[in-house]
Chains A and B, each alone.
Chain A
Amino acid sequence: MFVTRFNNRLRTGIIIMILLMIINLVNILFNSPLVPIQQWAQKIFYYHVPCAWVAFLSFFIVLIAGIMFLKTKNYKYDRLGLAAAELGTFFTVLVLITGPIWASAIWGKAWTWEPRLTTTFVLFLIYSGYFMLREFGGAPERVARYAAILGIIAFIDVPIIFISVRFWSPEVQSHPQVEMALQPTGIMTTFFFSLFTFTMLYFLMLWIRTGILSLKVKNQ
């Protein structure tokens, strides 16, 4: 009964998501203007920036889940934290892959050790440590507690990434950010639709992952 209801909702969710992704792609391909100089490379941002946004949102959920777990000792928050950490890392990896594709076209090299790239890479390393802790931390109760604390501390890096463009001196920066608000309407509409699509996709993925983790606990 539970599985059937879950399956029906899942099917509806996936169908809606596929439709949104197709509309998003059509929007990006045909309904957004080509920017001079960057041309098609600029359109990478319709995927790159939403991936970064959902990664940060995900790490924020890890932070909230960690606080709630330490407060209530309810393992549903531990599962939520784990699911969000996995998805956050998944989208961070996508950010770290799609970013260099754009950079190789526009900067002429895939990677530079500038502040935003470095701090994003550090975030990825911190969460790699988080999964090592989950895997090799020992007793489940202790792992859950330590993971919650690490999830809270790790979030400190997210605002650092966000403000890194202003925080470090302009000479060491290569990142565009501030000019984003000055883009023409065609770009912003497509960009916000892409942001909306990825946020919906993220919540669907989080729902599926927490559902599977709960099912795993039920079966044990």
Chain B
Amino acid sequence: MEYNFFNHFIFTYLIVLIALIGWFSMMFIKGKRLIRPNKSKTGS
């Protein structure tokens, strides 16, 4: 009988997905921190 490697695939998919979500979250936080000083300059 052939072994079903579905778990291996899902594991791979989740790793790629979590890494990408992590990267985008990190960039979002970095971007926000950099934009904030500009906002305070205009008084908004």
| Chain A contact residues, CB within 8 Å of chain B | 3, 14, 25, 36-41, 43-44, 47-48, 51, 90, 93-94, 97-98, 101-102, 104-105, 201, 205, 208-209, 211-212, 215-216, 219
Partner of A40, one of B4, B23, B24: B4
Main DSSP-derived SS at the A contact region = helix
List residues of chain A with CB within 8 A of the CB of B24.
Answer: 14, 208
A211–B11 alpha-carbon span in the complex (Å)? 32
CB-based contact A25/B13 at 8 Å? yes
CB-based contact B34/A101 at 8 Å? no
Q: With both chains docked as a complex, state the minimum distance between the C-beta of A102 and any C-beta of chain B, in angstroms.
A: 7
CB-based contact A39/B5 at 8 Å? yes
Q: With both chains docked as a complex, state the minimum distance between the C-beta of A79 and any C-beta of chain B, in angstroms.
A: 14
CB-based contact B34/A38 at 8 Å? no
List residues of chain A with CB within 8 A of the CB of B8.
Answer: 40-41, 44, 101-102, 104-105
CB-based contact A215/B31 at 8 Å? yes
Decide yes or no: A47 and B30 within 8 Å by CB, A36-B2, A38-B5, A40-B9 being known contacts.
no
Give me 9 A-to-B residue pairs in the complex whose CB atoms sit less than 8 angstroms apart, sorted by A's number.
A14-B24, A25-B13, A39-B3, A40-B6, A43-B9, A101-B15, A105-B5, A215-B31, A219-B37
List residues of chain B with CB within 8 A of the CB of A40.
Answer: 4-6, 8-9
Partner of B35, one of A3, A37, A104, A105: A3
